[in-house]
């Protein structure tokens, strides 16, 4: 496949984009946008002791958005020729009724501020080297214990080049490279099977493996499975909870992150509506969403609406300072986007999404927090979560957790979900340590998945409901 | 394949065009090489209404190809989101190259025709393609209007959507497979919010059919409104052991979860709590679980599986006894069995795996109200959350967030929220008290019906 617009490094040449934007506004649209994307990905899986499959793919296309009044029209195409783009522009423009009509401000190419340099493009790395990593991980996991019965290791890389232009004169490109490695293990014991999982994922190239040891990822996954072979059922009911540093940023992603997205706010479908300036969390909570932090999984130079990534303080010392915004929600409130307009790919409309969302350090000593917790549950790793932004109720699952007895970590617990209400749980945080760490995740909203980062220092919540079966 | 077929094709040109393309590319197989080409194409429309206006209208057509190459037991795969000729060649070359890196495995191979004739299914509603966008927009607007007017306690409609898709696919291989499939799906979905501030409750309702003419807007609205208004004033319940009565939607989710432990792939790789238990009693004797994609009422219905074999009815649990699993070609060979024509794939960008499409439990004799009155005291669960984070189909551990209503004296009573229900899947299957007669075909891989399970741990206050 030939690279469109390769002479200038642009996916689509500027004069073509200008004509497409013009066509998009022809029927009365007030704002038009062209989003072009070219994505290459490679994945490789080793499972059951065999390299099962190496897969590579390419998806390329563009989406045209036209806004008129409160209405957005969207159409996309895999055909990046001028003819294909114009057809998409006309389809998107069809929603525009007779209106004032916008015009295209002359496009001005803006340079995206790169957050980190990719030193080794994955596409330039021999496939055999990627396979070698899988074999190493498999060996390391199996060497962790005889009880390890199954290992699956996966490698993935992706390069996503985007170009965004709109009728306000924005024209900007970004080249996003992401690399990921994950291992999941099964361990078998007298009480049945248990699973363990660990992943490392960053917005970097193959240089990821200069600093990340796949053997360690594998050993961590194996250890999680092995530990749970002797686990007892998690308790049932409300318990004090300690979240280990970096283990559960997902808590904030669910407990308040989604509820602070301006689209939920605009529809009065969030418990945080009308709460700006109010105390919504313990004074120990300062929460930030930051798409600029170098190689983290949720970082980028520009978002999928052409705005630069930003650092946004959402909650400062427990007080709600702001929501997260995309173009459309900002436009309605006469303010600018906060750099949170993202989409899964060119087939989707952008919406308000988190980037890297995390709680800042406090000043407590993590060991002391534990020592001062007579009983409770210690979470070393959380899995996924889910929230209803309207009620604020959310769940998050443990994948490595222990009982706390007399201020010490004792027995491992089987997996369970925890359930809480966002504002209530945020008020119950009574200790925050100084040992911040973060990790990668995938966030799903309205059928679209995007990479995000989550992080927190060790912290304690005075009471959360844990859904175990102990006592049966 | 994912998209399902129609034997009574009224516009055969598009399908045969796709098949011709697949056959032509598969014809490039070299000596000693197995080659499979899967091509798909679809159109879709999505409309969202808000405050009497169209919030967004998206329409799109997309197409793609996925190519699998197996050489001496080594599999390689490549895909592209277009059907352009130059890209097809490049994708094939890439798949071939990828195959050289796999570990040789005697079980890996493509499907070969097994002589089973495909069921005659009509899963395509031409009306969907004839309906103009304006009419689809009007359905979304009408849905929102009705939702706003339905009940004074409804203060907001978070979304009111119309969506549809028409998808066609073809698969051809050098091992003799040629199959086409197509299907349409049309749906409306609405979320209403009742109450205010700390006591805000949400409810989602929907209606799905093969075409827009069969959608029931009032059912979607009634469902959404009932689900949010009856939750007003909900509080946490006290922790303890309890009997649960699952709403049909929850049962559908539960069956979908159980189905991943019935995948031959999970079983042969030692990732299922059902492994090595064929012939054993894994559930109560009244429980019969069947995966039947040839049943046209199911949204997962299909004439062919993702490898082009004719779909068939597979009995998985019969009178509580585990009878077998669902297999694609590779996992079946690994188990020393034949494929059950249960290959599924997530579209052109993924390789096939083994999975269920159209699960349902044999209906019992009691309806939902009769089950409530039979159990007397229980928690009726209208929705669950955290299924992906709290259910482990390897260990069987089950722990999910739940909301619903207490059942007292056989009647629905006060609403309950922010609790969890927990057990293990193994124990839940052995603790089924009643299976409802109210089978409801829902989008997804499993039908829903009221299901009553004893001895769950409820965590609340």
Confidence class of residue A116 from pLDDT cuts 50, 70 and 90? confident
pLDDT in tens, B112-145: 999 999 999 999 999 999 999 999 999 999 999 9
C-alpha closest to that of A254 among A421, A22, A446: A421
Helices within B174-247 (DSSP H only): 217-229
| pLDDT for res A97 | 66
By Cβ distance, the residue of A55, A78, A420 closest to B78 is: A55
Sheet containing strand A448-456, strands side by side: A319-320, A311-316, A287-290, A356-359, A448-456, A437-445
pLDDT in tens, A335-375: 999 999 999 999 999 999 999 999 999 999 999 999 999 99
Q: Is B429 left (phi over 0), alpha (psi -120 to 50) or beta?
A: alpha
| pLDDT for res A98 | 54
Is the model more confident about A441 or about A1? A441
| pLDDT for res A265 | 94
Decide if A472 and B273 are in contact by the 8 Å CB cutoff. Answer: no
**What are the counts of helices (DSSP H) followed by strands (DSSP E) for chain B?**
11, 18
**B90 in contact with chain A, both atoms CB, cutoff 8 A:** yes
Give the residue on B whose Cα is nearest the Cα of A390.
Answer: B200
**B76 in contact with chain A, both atoms CB, cutoff 8 A:** yes
C-alpha closest to that of B30 among B101, B128, B96: B96
B184 and B125 Cβ atoms separated by less than 8 Å: yes
Decide if A467 and B351 are in contact by the 8 Å CB cutoff. Answer: no
- ipTM score for this prediction: 0.91
Six-digit token string for B108: 């890996």
β strands within B10-119, DSSP E: 33-50, 53-71, 74-80
Rounded CA separation A10/A38 (Å): 11
Tell whether the model's pLDDT for residue B5 goes beyond 50.
Answer: no
Q: What is the mean pLDDT of residues B287-308?
A: 96
Domains and CATH numbers, chain B: 12-228 (3.30.2290.10), 231-253+364-459 (no CATH)
By Cβ distance, the residue of B51, B55, B420 closest to A465 is: B420
Alpha-carbon Rg for chain A in angstroms = 24
Q: What is the mean pLDDT of residues B363-389?
A: 96
Confidence class of residue A472 from pLDDT cuts 50, 70 and 90? very low
pLDDT in tens, A50-88: 999 899 999 999 999 999 988 999 999 999 999 999 999
Q: What are phi and psi of B203, to 5 degrees?
A: -145, 135
By Cβ distance, the residue of A150, A268, A415 closest to B399 is: A415
| pLDDT for res A249 | 83
Confidence class of residue B3 from pLDDT cuts 50, 70 and 90? very low
Give the pTM.
0.93
Give every CB contact of residue B276 below 8 A, 6+ residues apart in sequence. none
Give the residue on A whose Cα is nearest the Cα of B75.
Answer: A53
C-alpha closest to that of B383 among B182, B244, B209: B244
pLDDT in tens, A174-188: 999 999 999 999 999
Chain A residue numbers touching B385 (CB-CB < 8 A): 386, 388, 393-395
Work out the percent of chain B whose per-residue pLDDT is above 90: 93
**B62 in contact with chain A, both atoms CB, cutoff 8 A:** yes
Domains and CATH numbers, chain A: 14-230 (3.30.2290.10), 236-467 (no CATH)
Decide if A390 and B201 are in contact by the 8 Å CB cutoff. Answer: yes
Give every CB contact of residue A437 below 8 A, 6+ residues apart in sequence. A245, A246, A455, A456, A457
Residue A82 parent element (H or E): helix A82-93
Helices within B82-216 (DSSP H only): 85-99, 126-130, 133-149
Chain B residue numbers touching A57 (CB-CB < 8 A): 78-81, 349
Decide if B80 and A59 are in contact by the 8 Å CB cutoff. Answer: yes
């Amino acid at each position: 496949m030939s690279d469109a617009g390769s002479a200038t490094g642009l996916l689509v040449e500027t004069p073509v984009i200008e004509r497409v934007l013009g066509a998009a506004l022809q029927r009365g649209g007030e704002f038009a946008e062209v989003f072009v994307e070219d994505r290459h990905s490679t994945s490789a899986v080793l499972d059951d002791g065999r390299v099962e499959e190496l897969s590579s793919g390419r998806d390329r296309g563009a989406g045209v958005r036209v806004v008129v009044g409160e209405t957005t029209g969207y159409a996309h195409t895999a055909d990046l020729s001028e003819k294909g783009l114009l057809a998409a522009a006309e389809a998107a423009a069809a929603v525009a009724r007779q209106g004032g009509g916008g015009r295209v401000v002359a496009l001005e190419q803006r340079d995206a501020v790169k957050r980190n340099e990719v030193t080794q493009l994955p596409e330039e790395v021999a496939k055999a080297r990627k396979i070698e990593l899988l074999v190493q991980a498999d060996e390391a996991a199996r060497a962790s214990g005889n009880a390890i019965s199954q290992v699956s290791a996966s490698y993935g890389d992706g390069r996503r080049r985007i170009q965004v232009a709109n009728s306000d004169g924005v024209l900007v490109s970004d080249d996003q490279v992401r690399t990921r490695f994950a291992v999941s293990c099964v361990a078998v014991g007298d009480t049945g099977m248990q699973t363990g999982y660990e992943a490392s994922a960053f917005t970097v190239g193959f240089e990821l493996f200069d600093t990340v040891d796949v053997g360690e990822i594998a050993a961590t996954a194996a250890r999680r499975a092995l530990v749970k072979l002797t686990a007892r059922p998690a308790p049932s009911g409300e318990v004090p909870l300690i979240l280990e540093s970096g283990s559960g940023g997902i808590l904030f992603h669910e407990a308040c992150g989604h509820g602070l997205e301006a689209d939920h706010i605009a529809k009065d479908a969030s418990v945080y509506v009308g709460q700006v300036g109010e105390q919504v969390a313990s004074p120990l909570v300062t929460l930030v969403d930051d798409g600029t932090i170098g190689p983290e999984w949720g970082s980028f130079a520009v978002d999928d609406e052409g705005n630069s990534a930003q650092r946004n303080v959402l909650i400062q010392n427990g007080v709600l300072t702001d929501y997260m915004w995309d173009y459309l929600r900002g436009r309605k409130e006469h303010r600018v986007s906060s750099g949170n307009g993202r989409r899964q790919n060119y087939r989707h409309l952008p919406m308000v999404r988190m980037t890297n969302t995390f709680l800042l350090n406090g000043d407590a000593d993590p060991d002391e927090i534990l020592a001062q917790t007579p009983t409770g549950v210690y979470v070393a790793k959380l899995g996924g979560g889910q929230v209803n932004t309207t009620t604020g109720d959310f769940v998050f699952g443990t994948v490595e957790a222990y009982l706390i007895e007399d201020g010490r970590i004792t027995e491992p617990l089987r997996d369970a979900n925890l359930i809480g209400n966002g504002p209530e749980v945020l008020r119950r945080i009574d200790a925050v340590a100084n040992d911040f760490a973060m990790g990668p995740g995938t966030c799903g909203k309205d059928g679209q998945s995007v990479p995000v980062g989550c992080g927190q220092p060790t912290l304690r919540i005075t009471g959360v409901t844990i859904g175990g079966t102990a006592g049966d | 394949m994912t998209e399902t077929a129609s034997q009574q094709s009224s516009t055969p040109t598009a399908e045969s065009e796709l098949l011709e393309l697949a056959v032509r590319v598969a014809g490039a197989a070299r000596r000693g090489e197995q080659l499979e080409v899967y091509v798909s194409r679809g159109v879709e429309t999505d409309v969202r209404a808000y405050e009497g206006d169209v919030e967004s209208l998206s329409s799109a057509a997309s197409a793609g190809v996925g190519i699998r190459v197996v050489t001496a037991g080594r599999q390689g795969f490549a895909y592209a989101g277009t059907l352009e000729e130059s890209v097809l060649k490049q994708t094939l070359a890439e798949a071939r190259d990828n195959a050289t890196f796999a570990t040789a495995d005697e079980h890996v191979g493509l499907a070969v025709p097994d002589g089973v004739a495909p069921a005659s299914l009509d899963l395509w509603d031409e009306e969907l393609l004839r309906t103009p966008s304006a009419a689809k927009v009007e359905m979304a607007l009408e849905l929102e209007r009705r939702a706003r007017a339905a009940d004074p306690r409804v203060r907001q409609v978070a979304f009111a959507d119309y969506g549809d898709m028409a998808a066609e696919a073809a698969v051809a291989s050098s091992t003799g497979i040629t199959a086409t499939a197509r299907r349409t799906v049309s749906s409306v979905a609405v979320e209403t919010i009742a109450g205010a501030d700390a006591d805000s409750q949400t409810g989602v309702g929907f209606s799905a059919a093969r075409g827009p003419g069969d959608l029931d807007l009032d059912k979607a609205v009634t469902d959404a409104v009932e689900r949010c208004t009856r939750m007003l004033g909900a509080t946490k319940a006290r922790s303890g052991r309890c009997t649960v009565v699952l709403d049909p939607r929850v049962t559908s989710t539960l069956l979908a979860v159980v189905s991943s432990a019935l995948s031959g792939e999970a079983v042969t790789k030692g990732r299922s709590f059902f492994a090595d238990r064929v012939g054993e009693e894994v559930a109560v004797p009244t429980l019969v679980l069947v995966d039947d994609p040839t049943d046209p009422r199911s949204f997962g219905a299909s004439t062919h599986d993702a490898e082009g074999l004719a779909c068939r009815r597979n009995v998985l649990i019969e009178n509580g006894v585990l009878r077998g699993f669902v297999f694609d070609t590779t996992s079946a060979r690994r188990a020393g069995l034949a494929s059950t024509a249960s290959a599924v794939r997530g579209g052109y960008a993924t390789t096939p795996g083994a999975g269920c499409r159209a699960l349902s439990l044999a209906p019992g004799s009691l309806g939902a109200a009769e089950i409530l009155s039979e159990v007397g005291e229980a928690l009726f669960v209208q929705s669950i959350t955290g299924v992906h984070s709290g259910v482990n189909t390897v260990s069987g551990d089950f722990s999910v967030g739940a909301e619903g209503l207490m059942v007292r004296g056989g009647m629905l009573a006060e609403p309950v929220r922010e609790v969890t229900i927990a057990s293990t899947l193994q124990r839940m299957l052995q603790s089924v008290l009643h299976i409802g007669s109210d089978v409801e075909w829902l989008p997804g891989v499993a039908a829903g019906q009221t299901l009553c399970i004893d001895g769950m741990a409820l965590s609340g206050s």
